[in-house]
Chains A and B, each alone.
Chain A
Amino acid sequence: MIRAGFLKRFRNSKTAMLALRFLTLEALAVYLLPLVFHMDPVTSDVQAGFYAAPSAAHLFGTDGAARDLLARTLCGGQVSLLVGVAAPLISISVGLPLGLIAGYYRGIAESLVMRTADVFMSFPSILLSLILVTVIGPSLESAVAVIGIMGWSEIARLVYGNVLSIREKEYVDSALSIGRSDFQILKDEILPGVLSPVFVSFSFRSGSAILQESGLSFLGAGIRPPQASWGGIISAAQDISVLTRMPWVWVPSGVLIVLTVIAFHFVGEGMRDALDPKMKL
């Protein structure tokens, strides 16, 4: 699937490499630093004070419950990166087979799958996710599941479109005439052709999954307290005192979300250009 030239071309893209380095560094930081320095994101340091300004003991200051914001920001990063990887995987594992079936069999399967995709795409995903999370009950697992499932329709559409164009090519017909089973044709002839765009869209989906999770957490419907998440940390800035007088509370998480999403975006672009610059994504 990944051709030899791919890595080389990807490495040639400066922004994509920079973004990839940033993400790697970030992943190392959010997962290792809390372990190495025994950081505690959930225990209050009442002596340090509530909403304390940055100090040697608390480099990013403390939040309204006197918890260390550096630790919380890092653990929020764990949540974001986890969502960024797990949610697209779910989207793909739902959307890829459905898209293949819809594009290959056409007919009823096609209209059923694609109509349903239309339904999902015609309603604001943040509102639908919010309803879903309210029904399931907020937690990290439900946020990942909901965001993952909500993303299936885009993947299914993408796969469907690609399958259609591959189908028209002759080798599928010839495979059919040899009398191979549908499953084998799908696996050997069609799947390889649709994997590249899916692979690229994984990175784009990661970015938007992180956006969605932070939005849900900002609205208080993402993860459960006391767990930390970037959106949850930033929601404190709805209070004007925090917004205007305590930028240390919300600026780091805000900047990190934006940078992370941008990085995923650049990685996606890099992969797309390396695979096929003409790919529409």
Chain B
Amino acid sequence: MNPFAFLRRKRLVRLFAALTALLALASCGGGGASSGGGEKVVNMAFTTAWGSFNPYYSASTTMYELGLYDKIFDKLVFTDMGGAEILPRAADSWENADGGYSAVFHLSEKASWSDGEKATAHDWVFTANLLADPNSAFSTRVFTHELAGTDESGVRVDGETFGAEALDDYTLKFAFKKPMDVEDFLLHYNRKFLVLPEHILGGADPAKILEADFWRKPIGSGPCVYVSQMTGSEMTLAPNQFYQFRDPENSGNWDKLILRVTDSASRVTPLLSGEIDFIELGNSINPDDKPVAESGGMTVRAGDIRNFFMEVLLNESGIPDPKIRRALHYAIDKEAVTEAAASVVGTPCYSYEMLNTDYYDPSLEFPRDVEKAKALLKEAGYDGRAYNFAFAAKRENIAVLLAQQWQEAGINVNMSIVDVATMFSGLSSGVYDIGLSGHSASAYSLWFESEFPANLTDAAYSKDPVRADYAERIAAAIDKEEKIALVKEYQRYLSEQTWFIPLYFAGEYWVEPTRVSGIRNSASLMCNDNVWEWRVE
């Protein structure tokens, strides 16, 4: 017998039903109890609450929020297999042009905003213009610094031709400052580049765009339409009837997609209780929870891709000496940390590059060396100060191990448990010196470039000319061998500077959803969900 049936059991429920129904009716009367009425509902769990609907202005820009934007706004393409496979979404096809200096996207002619208006190349150009606007109130420009006619930070330069252009209603062209592989472009920026409607936001002043009512009740050309939300806890979405992949025969059959914020300490609980059908980012669970999930009758399999990258973030302004940063690296026993966090599905790592790619360089690996760490500290004149180490509650076990290992080398830390957003803001404002962060890696050789600066903006990392030069040369390299050689050099440079400490790559245990079929787990990890194909029993 299924020992976790209790999570769904309703035996005593009827007994109390009469009593409490009375109460439920008596108190306020509103909300709460609405009848199901044969509606097909998919319940999806988010482990962290989303902030605003604005993909270009949010308090935390975490993967969790990207997962929400993905539902409402459309992206150019759909990336699967940890980013290795690129499939059409708003764009049917794409190619390089002008000898790599530009990319052309042939957009779907069926794409439409959820209010029925056609979505065209002009909307994409409009969005790029908003991002590059000198007065833009958005907090990010995502990719516009790659486009011709902008300065280094991506601001449009007066008198130059801006590199975003609609060749016709359904052909979008981006002109780059230097050659760039269109697939690299997509792997790198697609996830964070979501199209906004010109017909609604077109008249708004870019400096005051945050004030638009639009962000309360957004209209997108993505697969879902916003219906309602209970801020910080629940959001209801309906299918966008006009979505380009939607056809009555083959596409998804759900009527409502409910996003629920659940505590990450209990990922399996809501799955077992049937409250949740699918957990964002691939329905993965903690390895420790595998036995519980299996005894609850769920099918659990180990992920095929180890793309969950765990790193120690070092704040350059708090720890300016690279020797101390390297000492922190040498003092870590990655085997133990990996064991504590990911047991059998984790592998210790020394770079951000995924283990199975051509870019991975085993010569970067080194064993733990406490003596070397001590020597480095001595050389650097470490004064025994305690660094402020912040991390989310769910990473406490890793943090505790790290702190002990550093202690063995003579490095002191003060630990604070904070939420993820507080950690990042504290790191960028200098309150914290050390943090812990996980990322979904992709096959793109420079994926980490876009992750790292977003977290630690004041780090020398983003301003370092050598690093920037490497990044540019790698992005521009078309020859595979040359690229591999460059990426390896670049990784060596990063390892010497140690702006961050790679800990491990983990695959995850995935739970097969029981009620919903057609989910692509490997794409979900990249904050892509093919919700338009999901089918409920």
Contacts and interface: CB of A to CB of B under 8 A. Distances in A.
Interface in B468-500: none
B399 to A, nearest CB: 7
Interface stretch (B21-29, B239-247, B264-272): B264-272
A64 interface: yes
A64 B272 CA distance: 22
Contacts of A238: 263, 265-266
A225 B265 contact: no
A157 interface: no
Interface in B209-252: none
A241 B336 contact: no
A245 B263 CA distance: 19
A44 B336 contact: yes
A105 B400 CA distance: 53
B393 A220 contact: yes
B292 A245 contact: yes
A225 B272 contact: no
Q: Is the interface on chain B under 10, 10 to 19, 20 to 34, or 35 or more residues?
A: 20 to 34
B479 to A, nearest CB: 45
Nearest to B393: A220
B417 A64 contact: no
B536 interface: no
A255 interface: no
Interface string A109-147: 000000000000000000000000000011000000000
- Residue picked from A43, A51, A239, A245, most chain B C-beta under 10 Å: A239
A226 B397 contact: no
B292 A46 contact: no
Interface string A40-79: 0011101000110000000000011111000000000000
A240 B344 CA distance: 20
Contacts of A174: none
A180 interface: no
Contacts of A244: 292
B397 A65 contact: yes
Contacts of B416: 137-138, 224
A46 B397 CA distance: 12
Interface of B: 263, 265-266, 268-269, 272, 286, 288-289, 291-292, 333, 336, 339-340, 343, 393, 396-397, 399-401, 403-404, 414-417
17 contacts: A44-B336, A44-B401, A44-B404, A50-B343, A64-B397, A65-B397, A65-B401, A225-B400, A225-B415, A238-B266, A239-B265, A240-B266, A240-B268, A240-B272, A240-B292, A241-B286, A241-B291
